[in-house]
Amino acid sequence: MHAALTCLRALAEPTRLRLARLCAEGDLSVGELTELLGVSQPGVSRHLKLLVEGGVLERFREGSFVFYRLARQSPTIGLIEAALAALADSDPALAADRERLRRLAAEKSARAHAYFATVAADWDRLRGLQADESVVDAAIRDLVLDRRVDSLLDVGTGTGHMLNVLGGSVSRAEGIDLSLEMLAVARENLARAGLRHCRVRHGDMEHLPGDAAGFDVVMFHQVLHYAARPAQAVREAARAAGPGGRVVIVDYLPHALDELRDRHNHLRLGFPPAEVARWFAGAGLTPVAEQHLPGDPLSVGIWVARKPATEGSKE
């Protein structure tokens, strides 16, 4: 009862209701919320503090920015969603908020696409050298979604591609990336796809946030070749997986394209299967599936391993 009462008190104010409604649409910074509501930043910050304390919103930092989003894992999320659903779309203040949010989203989309355009040519060329992306995506879906998956962690999410591919089939999905620019692109892609239950945040694959835990699937999609210590990243993934959870690695098999090191900052030119097996063993994981998808000259490997269902189990 205490949580419900605290939640209702937090929502029982017009500005806070507007803030909650806006944050239900996606991640927004303090500056963006201040601009959207036309209220002073100290005033917005006070309201946001009460909404976080009431379990309505969650707060997280990326670099020098602080973002807020609806607390979808809150025990009172049903109450929160019911309160927001009861708001009339015809309300003038809410309608104005929605229009300003639409314009802000268009501006963010333009900025994200402008950034991505600077690397798009190289990305398109790189895709042409590797196994067909649609074939790789289909293979990933077959291997990952061969059983029920409720939660997914995409480590090194980049533009959020894997969240878009798999997010519609899970109830909770999270992407982590070290690049703030890529996170901006990922947020735009997720918003455009309507995947509101998927979220992204800042983090290092070799030192995942401590609260990243209990996931059914933890995956690395075309990212371990950037890691200085891929074995450490796999150990972190094993920690983030729940009992019986799976770790999935999608990356290049060994190749000789030195330009990927020189132009794209790849630290490794692919991985032999025996090395991936050693990573799994070092993280206490049991390999359960492996698939190789040929490309010219970049072939892709998909490796899946399982965490023991119980501590000390050899399963």
Could you state, in order of their start, the residue ranges of all structural domains in the chain? 2-103, 130-306
Six-digit token pair at 39?
A: 């209220």
302: pLDDT strictly greater than 90? yes
Mean pLDDT on 43-71 = 88
Average pLDDT value for the chain = 88
- Is pLDDT at 4 greater than 70 in this prediction? yes
Which own/partner contact pairs does 55-59 have at CB distance under 8 Å and 24+ positions apart? 55/3, 55/6, 55/7, 55/10, 55/80, 56/7, 56/10, 56/11, 56/16, 56/20, 56/80, 57/19, 57/20, 57/23
pLDDT band at 314 (very low <50, low <70, confident <90, very high): very low
Average pLDDT over residues 272-276: 94
The SS3 of residue 228 is coil
Strand partners, 204: 207
The pLDDT of residue 20 is above 90: yes
pTM higher than 0.75 for the full model?
Answer: no
Across the range 45-50, mean pLDDT stands at 95
Structural class in CATH, domain 130-306: alpha beta
The predicted-structure confidence for 135-174, as pLDDT tens digits, reads as follows: 999 999 999 999 999 999 999 998 899 999 999 999 999 9
Same fold, 2-103 and 130-306: no
Report the topology of domain 2-103.
Arc Repressor Mutant, subunit A (1.10.10)
